[in-house]
Structure 1
Amino acid sequence: MQTKLHCWAGEESSRRFGDLFNLVYDPAFLMHAWERVSTNKGAKTPGIDKATAAWIETRMGSMFS
């Protein structure tokens, strides 16, 4: 999705994404994003927030299961 938005914005600098908030907060979109992030190579490495995927799953419980 990020690549698509980047391409669209590059093609037309005046383009606006008014419904982006609803897309990003859509539960299906978030679940898909979590599945990708929690299984990637860096999932075991803490990010800038010092949280690993395992730590987030422990804190959030079944929300991401």
Structure 2
Amino acid sequence: MAKVTVSLDADLVIEVMLLSGTRNPQDAVELIVRDYLARGHRTEARTGDADDAHRLREQEPPRAEG
């Protein structure tokens, strides 16, 4: 997997390390990003996306012919 280097404010990284309970800044930021992405996927699974809008519209009852 490709790696990316990002510069962050030291106070921000320390806060992330405290929240994640890790001693390594790289691991702390990675855990927070992975958690953020997982939450987004869970939200999509519960609420759907724009392509699912047809499920929310009320279906018209079939018209009686004749």
TM-score, shorter chain, exceeding 0.5: no
In proportion to residue count, which structure has more helix?
A: 1
- TM-score in terms of structure 1 length: 0.23
**Radius of gyration: which is bigger?**
2
- TM-score in terms of structure 2 length: 0.23
